Amino acid sequence: MTIKIEQTNSQHLIFCEAIIEEMELSAKVRGTGIAKRSTEYLSKKIIDGNGIIALTEENEWAGFCYIETWSHEKFVANSGLIVAPKFRKHGLARKIKQAIFSLSQDKFPNAKIFGLTTGLAVMKINSDLGYEPVTYSELTQDENFWNGCKSCVNYEILIAKEKKNCLCTAMLYEPKVALIPNEENHEKSSFSL
């Protein structure tokens, strides 16, 4: 089976509800928190090309991730990484994460790229991309970012610890020098499962 991985556009809006639903279901199954996003919020990410989506040849969504910017684009988060259950365990999450990481570097070459996760697999992928574990103080202090954690089941822990830590591991990629956007085309690529 061939899976296409491409930068999002308005044609992908038809998958928005299914992606949000799977994000919530997956978090419940894992017993972990996830910052819930509204249809309007995710739709804007999709339309603005601030996402990566994986699709089958039959146009079924297989995976997704999106970009968020914080602190006047000084920080970028690659958020909402999700793979539909029947496409898991084939390396698709890694491919999506690599694509969103590259898109983030192209769009925001001087930004620090970060993520919060409780997932060991995501930590491994992030580490392979050059992220390093950091304290929460090294992340954006933009209050809107932390407000996004309010829908997480662990939000009370975050507040009790004064936003200094929680159950999620913070990971950060810092560009060593100002990067020149590469010529890689994020519009489409594919691989076989």
Q: What is the pTM of this model?
A: 0.83
Cα separation of 115 and 14, whole Å?
A: 26
Question: Which residues have a Cβ under 8 Å from the Cβ of 131 and sit 6 or more positions away?
Answer: 113, 114, 115, 171, 172, 173
Under a CB-based contact definition with an 8 Å cutoff, are residues 50 and 37 in contact? no
Average pLDDT, the chain: 88
Average pLDDT of the segment spanning 162-171:
90
d(CA 130, CA 126): 6
- On the question of pLDDT at 36 being above 80, the answer is no
DSSP character at residue 150: G
Q: What is the DSSP string of 58-89?
A: TS-EEEEEEEEEETTTTEEEEEEEEE-GGGTT
Query: Which of 11-15, 56-60, 73-77, 164-168 comes out lowest in average pLDDT?
Result: 164-168
Local confidence band at 1 (pLDDT 50, 70, 90 cut-offs): confident
Query: Once rounded to an integer, what is the mean pLDDT over residues 157-165?
Result: 90
- The residue-averaged pLDDT of 100-127 equals 93
On the CB side of 115, CA atoms within 13 Å amount to 27
Q: Could you give the percent of the chain with pLDDT greater than 70?
A: 88
| Range 28-53 average pLDDT | 85
